[in-house]
Amino acid sequence: MADILIVDDNEIAIIAVDRLLSKEGYNVIPASNGKEALRLLEQFTFDLMVTDLEMPFVTGFDLIRHVKATQSEMPVIVVSSRSDERSKMECYKLGVETYLDKPVTPFELVMKIKRLVGA
C-alpha cells in the first residue's frame, strides 16, 4: 500500500481526495498547508505527493523545491487551479511528474497515481 501525502488548503478537496484514494487502497496523509507538509516530510516517508500551488505559509512551488532537493525520487503531482503556462513550466522545471488542472476528474487522478506508484 502506497503512502500518499495530499497537500491542499481546501478542506473539502482533501476530504474528497482522501476518500477517493482510500477506496483505491492507498494510505492518505493530509496536510492543510505547505508548512504542515514540510513537518510531515521530516517525520515520514511517502511514496508520492499530490499538492496544490496556492497555499498559506509555504507555497506549492517551495514545497516542490524542498521535496526535489531532499527526496528527489518521490514523484510529485500538482493539482491546481493555476492553469497558466508559466506555472506549469515552472513546475515541470522543478521536476514534477504531472500537472493537472482543477477541477480534476477522479479517474484521471487515480490513473496518474497508479502509473507512478502502482495499484
* pLDDT for position 1: 86
For 3-117, CATH gives 3.40.50.2300
- Give the E-state strand segments of 8-107 in sequence order: 27-31, 48-51, 76-80, 98-101
All three cell numbers of 81: 487551479
3-state SS assignment for residue 113:
helix
Q: Where in the chain are the domains?
A: 3-117
pTM of the entire structure?
0.96
Whose cell is 487551479? That residue is 81
> For residues 25 and 119, what is the distance between their CA atoms, to the nearest angstrom?
8
Quick: pLDDT tens for 72-95. Answer: 999 999 999 998 999 999 999 999
Quick: pLDDT tens for 24-67. Answer: 999 999 999 999 999 999 999 999 999 999 998 899 999 999 99
